[in-house]
């Protein structure tokens, strides 16, 4: 397994849960005869990740993203298979391993709710066995880059979601981890906060070169940051490659939009079963690229056009289609 920072072989995780039926009598029966349901959150997975890569892990809710991150960070033990991260088996949770990784869960706090961020960072300095002065300088540097020096002395529970997430990021990077697991780091944030954190992560990775696995439902995070894309569906990796290659191999759609000189007097049916409704003046239609040669002449016949624009479908649209298709077959 040498040459890779992260490598798994047939890694999988199965959860077993008690299926309780309604009623007091059934609750009593459950003490003596229990029915269990097994759910395979992650099917046998084999991946290899090189040093310095940013890997975007994308899938619908329940697809297995967080399960994989928890396995690789050692929070849970696999049901089967093997994994090495920096040469360690994660679930053994050796001190030398924990000092080299960091896991940031966007929906859970790692800092202390009633303490100020500065107090939390001092505790983390002791936990990781860091030197006090370099750690303090690192907090100053990171807080300056994230533009959040003014809230370091405010209790965490009094901060906005965006400010709390910045504090969580500083806490996750305080010990300069070699491997960084980011699970929804921009969840719930406004556009400005998302952009600020995204820019910070891009610059940080460029300077420090950690190996990163990033999950996000904001496709801009993946498109801008990731060198490599992993699509996970029902616990299985269904795509492993670059974002550009994924876009090239998916169905190539074009977005045709524009405006007629006057509202339409009646309904029109265009090639591809696309319909323009009476009374409409503007249009915004998706069509396969190979059908444009027949679609455009038919569109021009509908009426005089003032504006016409043809654009490629962006990465976010393609990913949303993928996630919707996955959710519909669950």
Residue 256 CB burial class (10 angstroms; 0-12, 13-18, ≥19): buried
176: left (phi over 0), alpha (psi -120 to 50) or beta: left
Residue 244: closest CA among 56, 74, 96, 7: 56
**CA atoms of 211 and 102, how far apart (whole Å):** 11
* Residue linked to tokens 């209790």: 155
117: left (phi over 0), alpha (psi -120 to 50) or beta: alpha
Radius of gyration of the chain (CA): 25
What single DSSP character describes residue 313?
P
pTM (two decimals): 0.75
Asked if residue 167 lies in contact with residue 127, where contact means CB atoms within 8 angstroms, the answer is no
Q: What is the pLDDT of residue 314?
A: 64
Q: What is the pLDDT of residue 262?
A: 85
**CA atoms of 56 and 189, how far apart (whole Å):** 19
Residues with Cβ < 8 Å from 269, sequence gap 6 or more?
Answer: 275
Q: Is 68 helix (H, G, I), strand (E, B) or coil?
A: helix
Crossing angle of the two packed helices 132-145 and 117-127, in degrees rounded to 10: 140
Asked if residue 286 lies in contact with residue 252, where contact means CB atoms within 8 angstroms, the answer is no
Residue 277 CB burial class (10 angstroms; 0-12, 13-18, ≥19): exposed
Residue 165: closest CA among 179, 139, 146: 146
Q: Is the dihedral of CA 265, 268, 282, 300 positive or negative?
A: negative
* Residue linked to tokens 């029966």: 29
**CA atoms of 186 and 192, how far apart (whole Å):** 11
Q: To which CATH superfamily is domain 6-15+42-248 assigned?
A: P-loop containing nucleotide triphosphate hydrolases (3.40.50.300)
Q: What is the pLDDT of residue 1?
A: 45
Residue 59: closest CA among 74, 43, 72: 43
Q: Is the dihedral of CA 124, 130, 133, 139 positive or negative?
A: negative
318: left (phi over 0), alpha (psi -120 to 50) or beta: alpha
Crossing angle of the two packed helices 161-173 and 191-208, in degrees rounded to 10: 10
Bridge partners (DSSP) listed for residue 231: 58, 239
Strand ranges (E), the chain: 6-18, 36-45, 48-49, 54-58, 80-85, 101-105, 179-183, 211-215, 228-233, 236-241, 253-260, 268-270, 274-276, 282-288, 305-312
pLDDT along the chain (330 residues), means of 10: 84 83 72 77 92 88 89 93 94 93 86 94 93 94 90 93 90 94 84 84 88 85 86 88 75 77 84 81 79 80 82 67 57
The CB density around residue 254, as the number of other CB atoms within 10 Å, is: 17
**CA atoms of 248 and 272, how far apart (whole Å):** 22
């Amino acid at each position: 397994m040498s040459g890779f920072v992260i490598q798994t072989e047939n890694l999988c995780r199965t959860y077993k849960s008690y299926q309780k039926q309604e009623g007091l009598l059934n609750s009593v029966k459950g003490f003596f005869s229990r029915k269990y349901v097994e759910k395979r959150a992650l099917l046998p997975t084999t991946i290899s990740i090189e040093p310095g890569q940013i890997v975007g892990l994308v899938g619908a809710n329940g697809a297995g993203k967080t399960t994989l991150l928890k396995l690789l960070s050692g929070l849970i033990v696999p049901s089967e298979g093997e994994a090495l991260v920096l040469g360690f088996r994660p679930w053994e949770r050796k001190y030398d391993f924990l000092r080299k990784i960091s896991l940031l869960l966007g929906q859970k706090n790692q800092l202390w709710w009633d303490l100020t961020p500065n107090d939390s960072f001092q505790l983390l300095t002791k936990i990781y066995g860091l030197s006090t002065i370099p750690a303090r300088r690192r907090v100053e540097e990171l807080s300056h880059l994230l533009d959040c020096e003014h809230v370091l002395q405010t209790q965490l529970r009094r901060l906005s979601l965006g400010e709390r997430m910045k504090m969580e990021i500083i806490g996750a990077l305080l010990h300069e981890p070699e491997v960084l697991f980011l699970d929804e780091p921009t969840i719930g944030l406004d556009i400005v906060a998302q952009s600020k954190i995204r820019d910070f992560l891009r610059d940080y990775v460029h300077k420090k070169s950690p190996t990163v696995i990033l999950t996000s439902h904001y496709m801009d995070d993946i498109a801008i940051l990731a060198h490599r894309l992993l699509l996970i569906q029902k616990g299985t990796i269904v795509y492993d490659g670059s974002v550009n290659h994924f876009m090239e191999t998916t169905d190539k759609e074009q977005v045709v939009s524009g405006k007629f000189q006057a509202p339409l007097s009646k309904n029109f049916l265009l090639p591809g079963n696309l319909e323009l409704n009476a009374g409409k003046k503007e249009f915004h239609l998706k069509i396969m690229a190979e059908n444009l040669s027949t679609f455009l002449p038919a569109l021009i016949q509908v009426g005089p056009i003032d504006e016409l624009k043809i654009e490629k479908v962006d990465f976010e649209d393609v990913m949303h289609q993928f996630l919707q298709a996955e959710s519909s077959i669950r």
